[in-house]
């Protein structure tokens, strides 16, 4: 990942965009592909679709969701404190003290998730995880009127932890899920746009995955592609108390994870393995017995069916304020997927 790519990655990760409020992040994603792809469109759900070589065969849809988990403003009290509902799946115990950014009527508003200080809690309360309804956001307002000059009910936001480098090529941020995937499909499109592409490739930056895979239902139907590859993040077992027997020996820094199971077309899986081998890229295999919980779940049954695969970037501490991944895994995902696309032609047989 060169400096230009890292700056794009950092910009994506640090842009606030929970499910249903992805417009700013999508604008950044679109700008990365302007002048690179043959066409680009945005639908009424906010999904963005970029296309290369529209007459090529077979047709391929690359999908990554650009939304993050976040919250929506539900009520502002007389003292100016903001009460909220979750957008997506939070562990409430990870929220108190988080810095957050709300996209308000005058622009971004910084706040802090508040909870009664531990010094003031009863002994029993200290042992309990908080309920989201008992938390609030402090934006520094001196009352309701001042808060309402900045915010309105229905405004939304997310955590505001910027991207930070750790040791080596590890990084941490709050929205690597799935801005890392959005980065990958944009960089793949840039990589394969230089020529030699025989397939038609569409990159779908989809919305509202965190609240029900909604955007990808629309992009998959609209695309009607022969092949669909979802790019997302997934949990790993390389942490204290991580269970290899539950999820497999999956590790950060060991390459992208290729899913294998009922949702994955076996021919697509084989071609992804071959692409990784051809590129000399490390990879891991994850067994998914019933489904993956990703956009692949809706892509493979779109219309008359789509031959799907799933590439996942190994990531620790998902849905927390400090998710962790390795940039080398991100680069390897770009390399594998780019090679997979270049190797496709109209003779490909995807019949299991």
Print the SS3 string covering 189-247.
HHHHCCCCCCCEEEEEEECCHHHCCHHHHHHHHHHCCCEEEEEEEECCCCCCCCCHHHH
Inside any domain, residue 266: yes
- Residue 131 has a pLDDT of 87
Inside any domain, residue 347: no
When pLDDT is averaged across residues 284-299 and rounded to a whole number, the result is 94
- Residue 87 has a pLDDT of 97
| Rounded Cα–Cα distance for residues 187 and 29 (Å) | 10
| Rounded Cα–Cα distance for residues 129 and 72 (Å) | 21
Q: Which of 124, 159, 194 is the last residue of a domain?
A: 159
Q: What are phi and psi of 263, to 5 degrees?
A: -75, -20
Q: Can you give the pTM of this predicted structure?
A: 0.95
β-bridge partners, 76: 82
Domains contained in the chain, number: 2
- Residue 321 has a pLDDT of 93
Please indicate, yes or no, whether residues 13 and 108 belong to a single structural domain of this protein: no
β-bridge partners, 346: none
Q: Which of 110, 130, 159 is the last residue of a domain?
A: 159
Q: Is 40 helix (H, G, I), strand (E, B) or coil?
A: strand
Range with the poorest average pLDDT among 102-106, 204-208, 273-277, 304-308: 102-106
Range of the domain at 139: 70-159
Please indicate, yes or no, whether residues 189 and 321 belong to a single structural domain of this protein: yes
Please indicate, yes or no, whether residues 150 and 183 belong to a single structural domain of this protein: no
| Rounded Cα–Cα distance for residues 115 and 133 (Å) | 11
Please indicate, yes or no, whether residues 136 and 203 belong to a single structural domain of this protein: no
Inside any domain, residue 169: no
Q: Which residues contact 72 (CB under 8 A, 6 or more apart)?
A: 18, 84, 85, 87, 154, 155, 156
State which H helix or E strand residue 31 sits in.
Answer: helix 23-33
| Rounded Cα–Cα distance for residues 165 and 108 (Å) | 24
Please indicate, yes or no, whether residues 228 and 321 belong to a single structural domain of this protein: yes
Please indicate, yes or no, whether residues 90 and 62 belong to a single structural domain of this protein: no
Please indicate, yes or no, whether residues 143 and 214 belong to a single structural domain of this protein: no
| Rounded Cα–Cα distance for residues 329 and 176 (Å) | 13
229-272 confidence digits (pLDDT tens): 999 999 999 999 999 999 999 999 999 999 999 999 999 999 99
- Residue 126 has a pLDDT of 72
- Residue 196 has a pLDDT of 85
CATH code: domain of residue 21? 3.40.630.10
- Residue 124 has a pLDDT of 73
Catalytic residues: 209
92-138 confidence digits (pLDDT tens): 988 999 999 999 878 899 999 998 666 656 677 677 778 898 999 99
9-58 confidence digits (pLDDT tens): 999 999 999 999 999 999 999 999 999 999 999 999 999 999 999 999 99
State which H helix or E strand residue 309 sits in.
Answer: strand 307-314
Residue 186 has pLDDT above 60, yes or no: yes
Q: Which of 159, 188, 203 is the last residue of a domain?
A: 159
β-bridge partners, 197: none
């Amino acid at each position: 990942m060169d400096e230009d790519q890292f700056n794009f990655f950092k910009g994506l990760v640090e842009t606030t965009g929970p499910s249903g409020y992805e417009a700013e992040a999508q604008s950044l994603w679109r700008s990365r592909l302007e002048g690179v792809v043959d066409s680009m469109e945005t639908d009424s759900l906010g999904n963005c679709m970029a296309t290369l070589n529209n007459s090529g065969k077979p047709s391929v849809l690359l999908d990554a969701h650009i939304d993050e988990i976040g919250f929506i403003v539900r009520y502002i009290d007389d003292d100016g404190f903001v009460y909220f509902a979750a957008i997506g799946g939070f562990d409430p115990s990870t929220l108190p003290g988080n810095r957050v950014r709300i996209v308000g009527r005058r622009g971004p508003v910084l706040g802090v998730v508040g909870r009664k200080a531990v010094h003031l809690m009863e002994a029993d309360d200290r042992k309990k995880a908080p309920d989201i309804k008992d938390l609030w956001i402090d934006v520094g307002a001196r009352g309701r009127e001042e808060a309402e000059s900045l915010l309105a009910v229905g405004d939304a936001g997310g955590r505001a932890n910027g991207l930070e480098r750790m040791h080596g090529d590890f990084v941490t941020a709050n929205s690597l899920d799935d801005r890392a995937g959005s980065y990958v499909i944009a960089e793949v499109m840039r990589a394969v746009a230089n020529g030699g592409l025989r397939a038609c490739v569409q990159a779908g930056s989809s919305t509202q995955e965190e609240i029900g895979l909604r955007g990808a239902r629309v992009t998959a139907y609209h695309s009607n592609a022969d092949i669909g590859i979802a790019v997302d993040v997934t949990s790993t077992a390389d942490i204290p108390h991580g269970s290899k027997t539950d999820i497999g020996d999956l590790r950060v820094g060991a390459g992208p994870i290729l899913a294998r199971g009922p949702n994955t077309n076996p021919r697509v899986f084989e071609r992804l393995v071959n692409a990784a081998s051809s590129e000399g890229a490390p990879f891991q295999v994850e067994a998914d017995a019933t489904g993956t919980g990703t956009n692949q779940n809706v892509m493979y049954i779109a219309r008359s069916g789509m031959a799907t695969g799933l590439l996942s970037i190994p990531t620790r501490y998902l849905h927390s304020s400090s998710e962790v991944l390795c940039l080398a895994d991100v680069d390897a995902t770009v390399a594998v997927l780019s090679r997979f696309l270049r190797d496709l032609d109209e003779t490909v047989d995807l019949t299991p």
